[in-house]
């Protein structure tokens, strides 16, 4: 991903500082383990004194905090509160919470709702079923490169071919270093399989014994809205349970969510408030 694109230029010094601070906040949010000063300096394209000054301002505002263990910068309590309020307002989360919960209840496995964020996928909401053995490969708030994980792969496969190529080229280094089983060439094969069968399967390619199936969600005009997925240990994702029970229920709830999205889309056609979309 081209991180420098997150740090935009502005016509005034004050607005530029805000843009840069928000860019750093976005970079920090993408790393679950936090980011070092060196990483933030490299990815933002800013010099170290500027990054340090902006980080201090974010810390003072409670948006960022520094880990005492490794001195990495991570999201602070105010960022958590803002994120929580945003999740309540987000169209997809607000619309689909009941569907995700019902899917988890009916399958007894973990159901997840995700959206695209640039070259990454973001898990907005997770509901666990009652089955006692769970997989935690995907948790609420987690970022993964687009295509890594079942829901993320379903979203990647829903994009035009040219855009898929662009995403995979941008993520090549990250995929090869951190996800050796998901190199871009292999990802292309997974995209083709996903399109052929109508849903994505992650057969433990990210974490051993952590399987998943996912399906893309679309707005009525065909634009990608997000994905709905199920996660479970390997033994619960085998045939015939996968194709006879899990996939039909996943598709049923995905269709129900798309009906809700269609109603929301229609409502906003005459509304002065623009409809929020994930990209």
pLDDT reading at 143 higher than 90: no
What number is the average pLDDT over the span 67-79? 89
Tell me the pTM: 0.70
Taking 3-state DSSP, the helix, strand and coil percentages for the chain, each rounded to the nearest 5, stand at: 55, 20, 30
* Strand 110-117 with 120-127, pairing: antiparallel
Q: Taking the domains of the chain in order of start, what are their residue ranges?
A: 3-80, 90-269
pLDDT tens track for 78-136: 887 777 666 555 578 889 999 999 999 999 999 999 999 889 999 999 999 999 988 87
| Residue 187 exposed, middle or buried by CB count within 10 Å (0-12, 13-18, 19+) | buried
What number is the average pLDDT over the span 60-70? 91
pLDDT > 90: percent of the chain? 64
Q: What is the CATH T-level fold of the domain 3-80, as seen in this structure? A: Arc Repressor Mutant, subunit A (1.10.10)
Q: How far does the chain reach from its first CA to its final CA, in angstroms? A: 14
> In CATH, what is the architecture of 90-269?
2-Layer Sandwich (3.30)
């Amino acid at each position: 991903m081209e991180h420098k694109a997150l740090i935009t230029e502005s016509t005034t010094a004050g607005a530029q500082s805000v843009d840069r601070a928000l860019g750093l906040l976005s970079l920090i949010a993408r790393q679950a383990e936090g980011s070092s000063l060196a990483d933030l300096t490299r990815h933002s394209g800013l010099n170290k004194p500027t990054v340090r000054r902006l980080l201090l301002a974010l810390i003072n505002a409670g948006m960022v905090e520094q880990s005492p263990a490794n001195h990495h910068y991570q999201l602070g309590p105010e960022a958590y509160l803002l994120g929580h309020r945003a999740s309540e307002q987000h169209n997809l989360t607000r619309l689909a919470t009941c569907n995700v919960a019902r899917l988890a209840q009916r399958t007894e496995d973990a159901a997840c709702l995700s959206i695209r964020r640039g070259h990454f996928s973001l898990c907005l909401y997770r509901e666990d079923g009652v089955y006692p053995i769970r997989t935690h490969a995907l948790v609420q708030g987690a970022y993964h490169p687009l295509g890594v994980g079942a829901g993320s792969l379903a979203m990647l496969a829903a994009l035009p071919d040219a855009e898929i190529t662009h995403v995979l080229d941008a993520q090549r280094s990250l995929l090869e270093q951190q996800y050796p089983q998901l190199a871009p060439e292999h990802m292309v094969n997974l995209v083709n399989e996903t399109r052929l069968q109508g849903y994505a399967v992650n057969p433990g390619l990210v974490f051993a014994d952590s399987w998943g199936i996912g399906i893309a969600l679309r707005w009525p005009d065909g634009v990608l809205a997000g994905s709905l997925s199920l996660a479970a240990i390997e033994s619960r994702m085998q045939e015939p349970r996968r194709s006879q029970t899990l996939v039909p229920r996943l598709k049923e709830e995905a269709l129900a969510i798309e009906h809700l999205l269609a109603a929301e889309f229609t409502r906003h056609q005459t509304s002065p408030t623009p409809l929020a979309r994930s990209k």
